[in-house]
Structure 1
Amino acid sequence: MTFGPILFLRAVEDTRLRLAALLCRDGPDEPGDLCADDTRHRPKRLGEIAGKSLWRYDFSLPRGGAADYSVEGEGYTVATDLDGDLRIGFVSCNGEEEGDLSRDPEERDAMWRRMAETHAAAPYHLLLHGGDQVYADEVTRGNPLSDGWPDEVPDSPTPEALDKLRQHLREAFLHRYSVTYAGEGFAHLSARVPSLMMWDDHDICDGWGSLGLVEKTAVGETLFDCAREAFLLYQHAATEDDVPALFSDPSGTSLSWRRDLPGVSVLAPDLRSERTLERIMGPKGWKAFGRACEGLEPRVVIVSSVPLLGPRLSLIERAMRITRRMEKYEDDLRDQWQSYAHRTEWQRMLRCVLKLEETGHRVTVLSGEIHLATRGELRNGDAPVHQLVASGISHRAPPKLWAHVLGTLARLGEAPIPQHPIRIRPLPGKRTNYTAERNYLSLERKGADWRARWALEESGETPWLEI
């Protein structure tokens, strides 16, 4: 299966919007030129996997109003008027752990089609993807070295066996991205709205970073290397050569990034590349994040792939350690900022957010990961820091009972930073703190004011929330 074009935002310049477009096509033949603003652009070949070639067009469009481009005989319109009113879409969790590619596309892509309809009525300028763009948990199946991942991994595989594993994984990642990116709604939107993406665990495998020593085995390192290559190719239209220009850490150890639009900076710390059982970000990641926090626009949007503001999950985490029956769920809770193992680091990130507020910025945090919709507030004087969680653009919602359990836990409150308590709040128009429906989020800047609302699969759109 082929896909594309998929648009990616590279930079907003004084008069131009700099973009990249990714195509996947059968065979080695170069596709036709991309035409934009009376200029023809030839593609750059990024690589070949399993008889398919990946191509990137680097081009720009004039800012203001709308601009068109065409490739392979089809035209697309992009909203490039970024200085006034602005619309940003946010999605996460585009898949499921088991059998995702065999689901009925009508069911799987229902919210993507609805989001495409939303864009047709009021165009988005940017689409943020907050993690789990694909669910790659099944890519390890079909190779003897990785069939038992993560419970059964061979101690000393031969170089030849690892080469075969690498080939298997690269082809499996390509297949998963190809099917996902060709989906109706996603394909329509991604050809017309520039994307920015940050990965989470399922883009590698379930719980990556919280699985312990198995990640340091030859099989684990091969899995991470292939997932990282796939992240660069399919989520950024990039290769290793592009890393210093696109990410905040030139070494590529951390794949955190920042992009500036008029009046708003978008930051996405990488919460996976350096994660261990004891930490969420490593030295490279924290240095990159600190560098990204300098010289920001007045409004700051932080994409945290796991919720930064949340209930006291450490209570459940500690209780699970009492019984071995619950140990298999411990890595899911260790993944969270709220884990007892990460409390000091969580406090450090919260202080970074509060420092940005103290220096005159208004911060909004966007998160996914939990397959529910909710919001949180970090008290900071009269104007709280808002966290907006939109999770499950295609992942089906968990039982409503789980939403009630989390809601009950949230009522206990949490205050890792004295005088700045965290509260979980219902969506506008809802009574419970967590809403168990598939969803996506829209942010709008109208004049100087910002607001947000959720689109829910069963309930429809919420009222606007002023942020």
Structure 2
Amino acid sequence: MTETAPPTGPMLFLRAAGDWGVRVAVTAMRLEGAPPPAFATDTPHEAEALATRAGATLWRAEMTLPSGGATYTCDGVEHRVSTDVTGDVTLAFASCNGQENGDLDRPSADRNALWAHLGARLDDEPVQVLLNGGDQIYADEVTKAHPLSEEWPNEVPDHLTGEQWRDLKATLDAEFFRRYATQWAQEGYAETVARIPSLCVWDDHDICDGWGSLRRKAQTSDVAKVLYAAAREAYLLFQFGCRPDERPEICIGRGRALAWRVDLPGVTLMAPDLRSTRSKSQVMSEEAWADLSPALRGTEAQTFLISSVPALGPRMSLVERAMKLTRHMEDYEDDLRDQWQSYAHRPEWRRFLTALMEVQDRPDHSLAVLSGEIHLAMRGTMRTETGALHQLVASGISHPAPPDGLATALSLLARLGEAPVKGHPIRLHPLPGKTRSYTAERNYLILRRRADRWSAAWHLEESGETAPLDL
């Protein structure tokens, strides 16, 4: 039986921002039947129940916080928020908040060390927006909660009856609910997300490892349909602060994908949804592309676009094809198929890069891609008509760093270069102060606008903060 989800919160979600301040949704969890959380600024804000599962209820209120800095309270506890988005601005970017097995059994002080570091800097350097670049939870163990999904995707049950479908859905709903809440309540993470409004996009582990790149029989099974429905509802509840039947106001288009865009003065923040319509042969459906293409128009002077998997990287298709020569590497096939660089996605990768270059090459405009997923820190550039299009990868904030040898191997592979779009070569570069292209340390990224100039710096768990990189 699923354990009761713990009471926790608050957490902020950005809805809009301007010279007037920021508009946010604030959520908190309370035990089922307990009074709703008391949210207030100068006046009380009524809380709405979003969902009740696993013995707890998730509540939400909407608030507008004036420019220049503001406070709100949740059950009498005060939280300070930086709300000036017109001048100097600092954004944080993080990804891969967990690990595949035993994630919630780790000591929170170690698991959330970088979250605590990010939270501790807020009094000295206010951060206006937290960009969450994918794998906000590692839900891989959720399927273990029910016999029908316990061995999926390796073993795929036959067609589910209506009663089996409902029973599995209720179990997975409750398990996602509990998992999000348990992670959210941990020290270090909880204090940080209570003070910085978040924007989130999901990746595979928010559903299951390799979602969208699994073999067709597993991906199209009834168990997969139930799992996806449960994961999507949890995504809306805990990463948008929305009801399961509600489409977030920041989302673009009306299709199934949940791509979004938010404009601040002088900067556009946006994220295509690379999971909702993914299959082994596509990253985004034509419907998702139809939603994204208009959203790339009319952006502010600086655009930060989140591609949950890196848009610029080494020639992974060579490794992917080599793996087909041996059955010993089959377990890694979905990891490589997940990448834009996969041979299966190469035409669509060119389409994506061409669309990004069209934004980059507008007069007085710059675009940078933010990504996670690979559990390493790295950066790359692609040559365009107006200069370098930057790729900044920060991954992961709590996922353990991989062996140092992987960083060395990928750095050697990066020397081969890549040019999927003719005349626009991709090059990978060391982080400031480093000597190889990939760095194997837990990390998060800080983006700063000072006097209308943007720079990026990585906070590395062992090495500290890098020198700023001008964008």
Task: Give the TM-score, by structure 1 length.
Answer: 0.97
1:11 equivalent to 2:16? Answer: yes
**Aligned-pair CA distance for 1:350:** 0.5
Aligned to 2:362: 359
For residues 188-234 of structure 1, the C-alpha deviation after alignment (integer angstroms, 9 at most, x for no partner) is: 11111100000000000000000032111110000000000000000
- 1:119 is displaced (CA, Å) by 2.0
Check if 1:166 corresponds to 2:178: no
> Would you say 1:78 and 2:60 are equivalent positions?
no
Counterpart-to-counterpart distance in 1, 2:178 and 2:212? 24
Matches within 5 A, 1:35-54: 35-36=40-41, 38-54=42-58
Superposition deviation, residue 174 in structure 1: 1.2
**Structure 1 stretch displaced more, 404-413 or 355-364:** 355-364
Alignment partners' CA distance in 2, 1:388 and 1:183: 28
Distance 2:164 2:343 in 1: 39
Counterparts of 2:222 and 2:367 in 1: how far apart (Å)? Answer: 41
Of 107, 116, 119, the residue aligned with 1:116 is 119
Q: CA deviation at 1:310?
A: 0.4
- Partners of 2:73 and 2:248 in 1: CA distance: 29
In structure 2, distance between residues paired with 1:242 and 1:297 = 28
Per-residue deviation at 1:59? 1.1
Partner of 1:125: 128
Corresponding residue of 1:221: 225
Q: For each residue in 1:294-330, what CA deviation from the matched residue of structure 2 results, as whole angstroms up to 9, or x when unmatched?
A: 2211110000100000000000000001111111211
Q: 1:369 aligned to 360, 364, 373, which one? A: 373
What secondary structure does 1:206 align onto?
Answer: coil
Following superposition, which runs of at least 4 residues in structure 1 exceed 4 angstroms of deviation?
Answer: none
Matched residues in 2 for 1:359 and 1:432: separation? Answer: 32
Give secondary structure in 1 for the equivalent of 2:412.
helix
SS of match in other structure, 2:348: helix
Letter in 2 for 1:43: A
- Tell me if the contact between 1:22 and 1:55 (Cα under 8 Å) persists in the aligned partners: yes
**Residue segments in structure 2 that go unaligned for 5+ positions in a row:** 1-5
Question: How far did 1:381 drift?
Answer: 4.3
Larger deviation, residues 224-233 vs 285-294: 285-294
CA–CA separation in structure 1 for the residues paired with 2:248 and 2:113: 37
Matched, 1:20 2:25: yes
Q: Structure 1 residue 429 and structure 2 residue 413: aligned?
A: no
Is 1:383 matched with 2:387? yes
Whether 2:338 is the aligned partner of 1:335: answer: yes
Other-structure match for 1:322: 325
- Aligned pairs for 1:135-150 within 5 A: 135-150=138-153
Q: SS in structure 1 opposite 2:40?
A: strand
* Alignment equivalent of 2:462, drawn from 452, 458, 465: 458
Query: What displacement does 1:354 show?
Result: 0.7
Unaligned runs of 5+ in 1: none
SS at match of 1:246: coil
Conserved? CA contact 1:20–1:58, under 8 Å: yes
Counterpart in the other structure of 1:134: 137
The 3-state SS of whatever aligns with 2:428 is: strand
In 2: Cα distance, 1:30 partner to 1:236 partner: 23
Q: Structure 1 residues 455, 14: closer, same or farther in 2, change over 3 A?
A: closer
Output the CA distance in 1 between the equivalents of 2:21 and 2:80: 15
Q: Percent identity?
A: 50
In structure 1, what is the Cα distance between the partners aligned to 2:37 and 2:233? 25
Q: Which TM-score applies when normalising by structure 2?
A: 0.97
CA distance in 1, matches of 2:45, 2:21: 16
Helix, strand or coil for the counterpart of 2:349?
Answer: helix
Given candidates 379, 396, 420, the residue that maps to 2:400 is 396
Give the aligned residue type for 2:467. Answer: P
Shift, 1:170, TM fit: 1.0
Contact between 2:361 and 2:385, CA under 8 Å: does it hold in 1?
no
Say whether the 8 Å CA contact 1:212–1:276 is kept in structure 2. no
| Distance in 1 (alpha carbons) for counterparts of 2:190 and 2:123 | 14
Report the AA paired with residue 366 of structure 2: R
- Is the partner of 1:137 in helix, strand or coil? coil
**CA separation in 2, counterparts of 1:25 and 1:322?**
53
Question: What is the SS of the residue equivalent to 2:435?
Answer: coil
Q: Give the match for residue 420 of structure 1.
A: 424
Q: 2:265 aligns with which of 262, 275, 297?
A: 262
Distance 1:250 1:305, change over 3 A: same
Which piece of structure 1 moves more, 11-20 or 411-420?
11-20
2-structure distance, mates of 1:450, 1:187: 28
Between stretches 155-164 and 273-282, larger displacement belongs to 155-164
Alignment correspondent of 1:67: 70
Superposition deviation, residue 13 in structure 1: 4.4
**2:102 aligns with one of 99, 102, 105:** 99
**Aligned-CA RMSD value:** 1.2
Structure 2: which amino acid aligns with 1:96? Q
SS in 1 for 2:172: helix
Deviation of 1:370 (Å) = 0.2
Give the 3-state SS of the residue equivalent to 2:246 in structure 1. helix
Partner Cα separation in structure 2 for residue 35 and residue 244 of structure 1 = 23
The structural deviation recorded for 1:15 is 1.7
State which drifts further: 326-335 or 223-232: 326-335
Residue of structure 2 equivalent to 1:203: 206
8 Å Cα contact 2:379/2:391 also seen in 1: yes
Counterpart-to-counterpart distance in 1, 2:378 and 2:134: 16
Does the 8 Å CA contact 1:30/1:43 hold for their aligned counterparts? no
Q: What amino acid sits opposite 1:376 in the alignment? A: G
Maintained 8 Å contact 1:109/1:184: yes
Does structure 1 retain, via aligned residues, the 8 Å contact 2:15–2:249? Answer: no
Equivalent in the alignment of 2:3: none
**Partners of 2:457 and 2:466 within 8 A in 1:** yes
Instruction: Measure, in 2, the Cα distance between the counterparts of 1:277 and 1:86.
Output: 39
Matching residue's letter, 2:165: L
